[in-house]
Amino acid sequence: MTNLNGKVAIVTGGASGIGLATAEAFVEKGAKVVISDFNEEGGKAVEKELKEKGADVFFIKVDVADEKSVENLVAETVKTYGKLDVMVNNAGVGILSTTHELTYEDYHRVISINQDGVFFGAKYAIREMLKTGGGSIVNTASILGHVGEAGAFAYNASKGAVNILTKSLAVEYASKNIRVNAVCPGYVESGMVNKEALGEFYDGLVARHPIGRLGKASEIAHGIVFLVENDFVTGASLMIDGGYTAV
Residue 83's CB is within 10 A of a number of other CB atoms, namely: 15
**Edge-to-edge strands, sheet with 32-37:** 57-61, 32-37, 8-12, 86-89, 135-140, 178-185, 237-240
Give CA angle at 92 (75, 201), nearest 5°: 160
Rounded CA separation 236/179 (Å): 10
Residue 234: phi, psi to the nearest 5? -150, 145
Active site residue 155: yes
- Determine the Cα–Cα distance for residues 46 and 123; give it in Å rounded to an integer: 26
Q: Which residues pair with 180 in a beta bridge?
A: 137
Q: Which of 107, 124, 155, 173 is catalytic?
A: 155
Specify the DSSP class assigned to residue 188. Answer: B
Q: Say if CB 11 and CB 19 are below 8 A apart.
A: yes
Catalytic residue annotation = 155
